[in-house]
Structure 1
Amino acid sequence: MTEYVASYYAASANPHVPYPSLEEAIRCDVCIIGGGFSGLSSALHLAEAGYDVVLLEAAAIGWGASGRNGGQALNSYSRDIDTIEARYGADTTHWLGSMMFEGAEIIRSRIEQYAIACDYRPGAISAALTSRQFSALAKRKALWQRYGNPPLALLDKQAIQREIASDRYVGGLLDHSGGHLHPLNLALGEAGAVQSHGGRVFEHSAATQIRYGQPATVHTARGSVTADFVIVAGNAYLGDKLEPRLSRLSMPCGSQIIATAPLPPEQALALLPGNYCVEDCNYLLDYFRLTADNRLLYGGGVNYGAWETANITAKILPNMLKTFPQLKDVRIDYCWSGNFLLTLSRMPQFGRLDNNVYYLQGDSGHGVTLTHLAGKLIAEVLCGNAERFDAFAKLPHLPFFGGRHLRVPFTALGAAYYALRDRLGF
Structure 2
Amino acid sequence: MSGGSYAGDGAYPSSYYAASAHSAPSRPPLAGDVETDVCVVGGGFTGLSAGLDLAEKGHRVVLLEGARIGWGASGRNGGQIVNGLNASLETIAARYGKATTDFVATVVQEGGAIIRERIAKYDIACDLKRGNIFTAFTAKQMAELEAKQALWRTYGHDNFEMLDAAGVRRHIATDAYLGGMIDHSGGHMHPLNLALGQAAALESRGGVIHEASPVVSIEALDGKPVVRTADGLVRPRTLILAGNAYLGGVVPELDTRIMPFSTQIIATEPLGARGRELLPTDMCVEDLRYILDYYRLSADGRLLFGGGTVYGGTDTADIRAKILPNLEKIFPSLKGARIDFAWSGNCAISFSRVPQMGRLGPNSYFACGYSGHGVVGSHLFGRILAEAVDGDLSRFDVFAHVPWTPFPGGRRFRVPYSALGSWWYGLRDRLGV
TM-score range, shorter chain: over 0.9
Q: 2:165 aligns to what?
A: 157
Q: 1:229 aligns to what?
A: 238
- Aligned match of 2:58 in 29, 50, 60? 50
Distance 2:412 2:315 in 1: 18
Fraction of identical pairs, as percent: 52
Q: Alignment partner of 2:336: what SS?
A: coil
1:283-362 counterparts in 2 under 5 A?
283-362=290-369
Taking only aligned residues, the RMSD between alpha carbons, in angstroms, comes to: 0.8
Q: 2:146 aligns to what?
A: 138
Structure 1 gap segments, 5+ residues each: none
Q: Which moved more, 1:208-217 or 1:194-203?
A: 208-217
Give the deviation of 1:214 after TM superposition: 4.4
Q: 2:260 aligns to what?
A: 252
Give the deviation of 1:384 after TM superposition: 1.8
Are positions 1:22 and 2:46 aligned together? Answer: no
Give the deviation of 1:329 after TM superposition: 2.1
**Structure 1 runs of 4+ with >4 Å offset:** none
Q: Which moved more, 1:392-401 or 1:295-304?
A: 392-401
Letter in 2 for 1:77: L
Q: 1:239 aligns to what?
A: 248
Are positions 1:109 and 2:117 aligned together? Answer: yes
Asked if 2 retains the 8 angstrom alpha-carbon contact of 1:68 and 1:184, the reply is: yes
- Aligned match of 1:93 in 74, 86, 101? 101
Distance 1:306 1:87 in 2: 28
Distance 1:312 1:194 in 2: 35
What per-residue deviation string (whole Å, max 9, x for no partner) do you get for residues 362-385 of structure 1?
Answer: 000000001000111011112221
Q: 1:380 aligns to what?
A: 387
Q: Alignment partner of 1:163: what SS?
A: coil
Distance 1:319 1:27 in 2: 51
Structure 2 gap segments, 5+ residues each: 1-7
Q: 2:414 aligns to what?
A: 407
Give the deviation of 1:215 after TM superposition: 2.8
What per-residue deviation string (whole Å, max 9, x for no partner) do you get for residues 294-349 of structure 1?
Answer: 00000001111111211000000000000100101210000000000011001100
Q: Which moved more, 1:210-219 or 1:244-253?
A: 210-219
What per-residue deviation string (whole Å, max 9, x for no partner) do you get for residues 82-118 of structure 1?
Answer: 1111110011111111100000000000000000000
Asked if 2 retains the 8 angstrom alpha-carbon contact of 1:28 and 1:52, the reply is: yes
Asked if 2 retains the 8 angstrom alpha-carbon contact of 1:96 and 1:391, the reply is: no
Distance 2:46 2:154 in 1: 28
Give the deviation of 1:148 after TM superposition: 2.5
Asked if 2 retains the 8 angstrom alpha-carbon contact of 1:214 and 1:228, the reply is: no
Distance 2:276 2:32 in 1: 52
Give the deviation of 1:267 after TM superposition: 1.1
Distance 2:103 2:397 in 1: 10
Distance 1:407 1:198 in 2: 42
TM-score (norm 2): 0.97
What per-residue deviation string (whole Å, max 9, x for no partner) do you get for residues 18-42 of structure 1?
Answer: 1111011001000000000000001
Distance 2:172 2:355 in 1: 31
Distance 1:335 1:147 in 2: 40
Distance 1:87 1:248 in 2: 21
Q: 2:396 aligns to what?
A: 389
Asked if 1 retains the 8 angstrom alpha-carbon contact of 2:223 and 2:361, the reply is: no
Distance 2:405 2:317 in 1: 31
Asked if 1 retains the 8 angstrom alpha-carbon contact of 2:76 and 2:192, the reply is: yes
Distance 1:75 1:145 in 2: 14
Give the deviation of 1:56 after TM superposition: 0.3
Q: Alignment partner of 2:11: what SS?
A: coil
Report how many residues are paired: 424
Q: 1:36 aligns to what?
A: 44
